[in-house]
Amino acid sequence: MSDIQFGGHTIKSHGHELAKLHKYDWMILLLLALIDGFLYIIEPFHRYTNADMMRDLKYPFKVHSTIPIWAVAVYAVILPCTIFYIYYLHRKNVYDLHHAVLGIMYSMLIAAVITDSIKAAVGRPRPNFFWRCFPDGIEVYDPVSGDVECTGLHKFIKEGYKSFPSGHTSFSFAGLGFLAWYLSGKIKAFDRSGHSAKLCIVLLPYLVAALVGVSRVDDYWHHWTDVFAGAVIGSVVSSLCYLQFFPFPHDRNGWGPYAYFRTLEENGFQRSLASMSDEEEIQDLEARGRRH
């Protein structure tokens, strides 16, 4: 396909300029990644846990999760970015591709920093904490305070104090929630035409994210309240990050990023489109872009 399509805004023609314009945004992403790495390394708060409290923390300890953490990166980041790129191949709109990738990366990393900060500060024991703490089943408590004195492996004990909120769930809703917003804009799910099939497409990523949260309860790695809190964090963050770059999906120009329409206006493409349908508007912008 020709580079001069849909205003000629391709990776080749505008990619370098766009990356340079947002270099500080990408630098902040790196900083967020470093902060989250630090939060993962530090020792979480060890919440007081006595023998009575341990009765509710004796669920089976499965070392391996149904959904490993590496899988989260696949379905919450790589899959959405692949969809972003496929749309780019169709429309040749580098602004859409860049801001979608930047937005989902911010969504994931902001959710990660918030989630891991709370994990480290709260120090809530996981439902399987007993077997993490006492792998041989022999309980040991401080004779004065009654607090647990764990005899298990440090890495299992450390993770055992990171129940609230659920990281898998918050990351899933952060990535897949962003994808749901993106899809709703692209397919015009809220164009008041009443096509319910579009709504099913938009809700599918949320269903997948919810099932990930359910798996964390089924694996006895989290309480249901941990999963609920993770879902709220991921949903709120993904919504804010999407709306930072894209209009609401029900808006007239909800299918594209703010930066794209601003660029068209700066290049003399601004005009009244009040009498045109969305499809006519797209065709008009494409034609005007090719002439330009």
Active site residues: 168, 222
Q: How far is CA 172 from the centre of its chain?
A: 6
Q: Tokens 């509710």, residue?
A: 56
Residue type at 123?
A: G
Cα-Cα-Cα-Cα dihedral of 136, 139, 141, 147, to 10°? 90
Question: In degrees rounded to 5, what are phi and psi of residue 270?
Answer: -70, 135
DSSP 185-216: HHTTTTSSS--HHHHHHHHHHHHHHHHHHHHH
Q: Tokens 């601004």, residue?
A: 270
Query: Can you tell me the distance from the alpha carbon of 53 to that of 223, in angstroms, rounded to the nearest whole number?
Result: 14
Query: Can you tell me the distance from the alpha carbon of 66 to that of 218, in angstroms, rounded to the nearest whole number?
Result: 9
Q: Do you know the residue count of the chain? A: 292
28-36, Cβ contacts within 8 angstroms, sequence gap of 24 or more: 29/102, 29/105, 29/106, 29/109, 32/106, 32/109, 32/110, 32/112, 32/113, 33/109, 35/113, 36/109, 36/112, 36/113, 36/116
Query: Can you tell me the distance from the alpha carbon of 112 to that of 107, in angstroms, rounded to the nearest whole number?
Result: 8
Q: How far, in Å, are 74, 84, 107 from residue 81 at the CA level?
A: 10, 5, 13
